[in-house]
């Protein structure tokens, strides 16, 4: 399983763009990169998933360079409600055992 | 949007007692999971389940744990004899994964059951 490394925490202000980078140096050829968000006392929630280049949905963008050894989750114009823990997961073939790391605690201030 | 439902939201039990945590996965999903999260710690994988069989389990999922899909909708986690260290939030998840190998699955989590063992 590819191990992921993320910053422990980040602080931002409302209205700013936030970029959270995840390193996954030993990502396998078939692995996808998936980001989840978790609020206190709630289950993780799927945000976005990608394999290469750029993926965008209504919530976020995901940038993946050509070597795929890292990825960046971009949250445009964050609000207080975006305060949460963000997890980067790299899926093993078969996906039986998605492993959550420590995640990045994002604090958005007013 | 369809969602995974877990009951109860909170469960308090005495050490040594059996508990059953219940989950209703999203109806057309085929893969089901249990994860747990001890307060302040990582979300930990317990077990995955497909076609009425355990697909994979972690070291945490010892003989005290079992899973079952007793009917077409419920998915349960049983802890036979609870210990103090079983106190955690337990999350059920179901997946978009199909029978063929898939590395781009998306997990949908329930809101969790907070288990407190006294």
pLDDT digits (tens, 9 = 90+) for B87-109: 999 999 998 777 655 556 788 99
Distance CA A100, CA A28 (A): 17
Q: What angle do CA A99, A101, A104 make, to 5 degrees?
A: 140
Write out the two tokens for B101: 């190998």
| pLDDT score for B51 | 87
**Residue B93, Ramachandran bin (φ over 0: left; ψ between -120 and 50: alpha; else beta):** beta
Question: Looking at residues A19-48, what average pLDDT do you find?
Answer: 91
What single DSSP character describes residue A91? P
Terminus-to-terminus CA distance in chain A, angstroms?
Answer: 38
Classify strands B113-117 and B10-13 as parallel, antiparallel or unpaired: parallel
- Pick the residue with more confidence: A49 or B2? A49
Q: Is pLDDT of A93 > 50?
A: no
Q: Is pLDDT of A18 > 70?
A: yes
Q: Is pLDDT of A98 > 80?
A: no
Q: What angle do CA B83, B59, B86 make, to 5 degrees?
A: 20
| Cross-strand partners of B21 | B77
Q: State whether A44 and B44 contact (CB < 8 Å).
A: no
pLDDT digits (tens, 9 = 90+) for A50-89: 999 999 999 999 999 999 999 999 999 999 999 999 999 9
Q: Which residues lie below 8 Å from residue B52, measured CB to CB, with a gap of 6+?
A: B69
Q: State whether A95 and B102 contact (CB < 8 Å).
A: yes
Interface test with B, best of A29, A42, A45, A95 (most B CBs within 10 A): A95
Question: Looking at residues A84-107, what average pLDDT do you find?
Answer: 80
User: Hey, is the C-beta of B110 within 8 angstroms of any chain A C-beta?
Assistant: yes
| pLDDT score for A95 | 46
pLDDT digits (tens, 9 = 90+) for B17-55: 999 999 999 988 888 999 999 998 889 999 999 889 998
Give the chain A residue whose CA is nearest to the CA of B104. A32
Q: How many CB atoms lie within 10 A of CB B101?
A: 10
Count of residues in chain A? 110
Q: What is the largest CA-CA distance in chain A?
A: 42
């Amino acid at each position: 399983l590819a191990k992921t490394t993320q910053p422990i925490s980040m602080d931002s202000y409302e209205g700013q763009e936030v970029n959270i980078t995840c390193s996954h140096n030993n990502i396998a050829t078939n692995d996808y990169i998936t980001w989840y968000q978790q609020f206190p006392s709630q289950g993780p929630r799927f945000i976005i998933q990608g394999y290469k280049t750029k993926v965008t949905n209504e919530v976020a963008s995901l940038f993946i360079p050509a070597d795929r050894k890292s990825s960046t989750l971009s949250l445009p114009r964050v609000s207080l409600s975006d305060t949460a823990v963000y997890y980067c997961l790299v899926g093993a073939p078969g996906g039986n055992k998605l492993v959550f790391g420590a995640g990045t605690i994002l604090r958005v201030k007013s | 949007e369809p969602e995974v439902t877990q009951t109860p939201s909170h469960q308090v039990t005495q050490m040594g007692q059996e508990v059953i945590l219940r989950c209703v996965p999203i109806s057309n999903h085929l893969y089901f999971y249990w994860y747990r999260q001890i307060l302040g710690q990582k979300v930990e994988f317990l077990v995955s389940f497909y076609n009425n069989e355990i697909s994979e389990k972690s070291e945490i999922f010892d003989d005290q744990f079992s899973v079952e899909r007793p009917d077409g909708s419920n998915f349960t986690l049983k802890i036979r004899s609870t210990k103090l260290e079983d106190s955690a939030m337990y999350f059920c998840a179901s997946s978009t994964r199909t029978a063929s190998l898939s590395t781009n699955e998306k997990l949908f989590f329930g809101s969790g059951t907070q288990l407190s063992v006294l």
